[in-house]
Structure 1
């Protein structure tokens, strides 16, 4: 089976890394991953080819495109070149499955290239091919949900054969944030959550590598680094207070997209405190969570699933611009798996108290399905075999 997997990220890197975990589940098949956002460093699986379209990101209001190629300002030219290259990819690889991350539940601005490709798939322009949507557990709700449902149905129902929902319905069901589920014509499959799992023994090996002994390890992260500065500063300040009563090691990951100015500020805050290490990024993040006694993070999908897979207790500060992170974090807090942080918890003294309490906690077993990558592969295999 050959799959062309389209993933366009515009803010953080979570969409890319969740897609990579799905691709790992497709290890017995050939995958062509097509991306079009800012370039992201990752280890490419042997069965995957990565093709980068001319880069685009969005303005903060998500209304306009910003070209990422140096010196390029003509947006229309970028759109034209992307679509031309995309059609060439489909013509060369003639996939059995066209897997699309999020669209049409989101990324509507990218319909300029996706609708023509989906039309080609429907007309078997590049041979027999199934179009499948890959979507996370919780969708961003719109002010006018009736209009959003109508728009999604109009693009989803005639163009796709299946929808993969990367959730465990025991925690979150799609209809909770998309009220038009009953009107979806393609098959809807819950795959379980997509989680990047640490290798057995990876955490213990990393603790030995870091020379921690019995010293507790706190891992702080904020995803891609576009947001989360207030949480980083809070944790850095709280660590200094916490060290007076609870010796520990703090490793801070600022995210690859943190500005140089912000990164320098975080390093300055850590200066003189030899138990604090500030880094931008690590490819071994699941290993760090497996090694950790406590995680402090935002509440994005990938970080949350990494945390569940590692079985580490977490303090989680959900991004409040939409309710996705808060909804998921609230439900996990109800199960005793994390503690949700609010704005008032970011005062250094309060944060230090939460960190001290968190170091004494172990999470309650969650019982959630974290095999979304492997299950996605099985569902696609069954779809193509019909």
Structure 2
């Protein structure tokens, strides 16, 4: 297909994981399909802080944030959840209608946040049946009991079976098998392509340069990262408290990266604890260079940081988030059980325990990483293959219906509302 149009959906309500994973794929797509136009639809507040590939533009949706219990709300605007979701739905639908993508890649949420993708998916299935619809599935969603209940409640199985053409697993079934754990149907499992983990660390500065910058040429360098930072205060604060009582931490040089989403008041409290041995920054687009220069990474267990540290072969101590989802805990436990990471559960997080865990991890040999980390290449190859197979254009038969024309922008059902369910 010449000059394909690819739409990437990354809802980004909490943290940076969805955005960073989607951008890694977008950069690789730009390399293997240089003639493609890409449109990123995202709710991230910091999407513009990252380097974008050529021929990619983005639409910024009004931002959402997530309560500790998993419920969503408007991040900054004084709008109800229903109001902001309705707005986002309309923006996504119009993007699909105007951009007319040949392929849509959805990160993690098949129906979008609060079903915000449903009108756009329904539009494409009805009026653009040749558009490929692809779901990118993270290695782990949540614990099996919770995920099975959510999928049943959200009709996720129907989306897997009847709406998406392909499901790309950003992980390994040998580590965590969603078909078995989540009870995917045979029809959905047949669409699943195991791609491996998305890890494409771009180290832009030599290790020696970074260590010299941080005054760590003659002492161990520890990098503490809290991902997006929205719930990273406890880890950062406990580490800084441990520096005052534990000689190993006090003798090392530490870089703490709080994340851009940490509340300013919490960041200010951490900044007051800076010292000659501790440097604190809010955000860097070059985090990978700091990770590559470290003797130890202390981190939560978000997908991207874990994949990057694994790809770099770094020692890593994981302190996973356990609420509102068990995803990070499960990931950290599976990796620790295979000797690829050290683990400290947040229920045991204290300055004393963290200091001891850091000392143990620093003294351990570098891990032998056995993960398949070629996910970016496999994902882009799978998408390129889908685009290489021509489908009947609009005007040919789609199931039992004959599609003859596109609807005008803003077309609605007779009752004036966009129907929420997608016809099978």
Calculate the TM-score normalised by the size of structure 2: 0.82
Q: Of 35, 40, 45, which aligns to 2:42?
A: 35
Structure 1 match to 2:193: 189
- Once the 2 structures are TM-superposed, how far is the Cα of residue 124 of structure 1 from its aligned partner? 3.4
Give the 3-state SS of the residue equivalent to 1:288 in structure 2. Answer: helix
- Once the 2 structures are TM-superposed, how far is the Cα of residue 185 of structure 1 from its aligned partner? 6.6
Contact 1:174–1:181, Cα closer than 8 Å, also in 2: no
Q: Of 82, 87, 93, which aligns to 2:93?
A: 87
Instruction: Tell me the matched-pair count.
Output: 378
- Once the 2 structures are TM-superposed, how far is the Cα of residue 361 of structure 1 from its aligned partner? 2.1
Q: Supply the distance in 2 between the matched residues of 1:245 and 1:14 (Cα, whole angstroms).
A: 28
Moved beyond 6 Å, runs of 4+: none
Contact 1:315–1:358, Cα closer than 8 Å, also in 2: yes
Structure 1 match to 2:294: 292
Q: Of 357, 364, 384, which aligns to 1:381?
A: 384
5 Å-filtered alignment, 1:238-253, equals 238-243=242-247, 247-253=251-257
- Once the 2 structures are TM-superposed, how far is the Cα of residue 85 of structure 1 from its aligned partner? 2.6
Contact 1:234–1:351, Cα closer than 8 Å, also in 2: yes
- Once the 2 structures are TM-superposed, how far is the Cα of residue 77 of structure 1 from its aligned partner? 4.6
* Larger displacement relative to structure 2 (151-160 or 258-267): 151-160
Q: Supply the distance in 1 between the matched residues of 2:169 and 2:133 (Cα, whole angstroms).
A: 14
Asked if 1:259 is matched to 2:250, the reply is: no
Calculate the TM-score normalised by the size of structure 1: 0.89
Q: Of 8, 17, 31, which aligns to 1:5?
A: 8
| Unaligned stretches of 5+ residues in structure 2 | 390-424
Structure 2 match to 1:217: 221
Kindly provide the CA deviation profile for residues 132-188 of structure 1, in whole angstroms up to 9, marking residues without a partner as x: 001100112454825724711122322110001100233222225422243417611
- Once the 2 structures are TM-superposed, how far is the Cα of residue 383 of structure 1 from its aligned partner? 1.4
Structure 2 match to 1:96: 102
Q: Supply the distance in 1 between the matched residues of 2:94 and 2:175 (Cα, whole angstroms).
A: 41
Structure 2 match to 1:161: 165
| Unaligned stretches of 5+ residues in structure 1 | none
- Once the 2 structures are TM-superposed, how far is the Cα of residue 256 of structure 1 from its aligned partner? 0.8
- Once the 2 structures are TM-superposed, how far is the Cα of residue 242 of structure 1 from its aligned partner? 3.4
**Which structure has the bigger radius of gyration?**
2
Pairwise CA RMSD: 2.4
Q: Supply the distance in 2 between the matched residues of 1:39 and 1:348 (Cα, whole angstroms).
A: 31
Structure 2 match to 1:53: 61
Q: Supply the distance in 1 between the matched residues of 2:249 and 2:298 (Cα, whole angstroms).
A: 19
Give the 3-state SS of the residue equivalent to 1:305 in structure 2. Answer: helix
Q: Supply the distance in 2 between the matched residues of 1:146 and 1:244 (Cα, whole angstroms).
A: 45
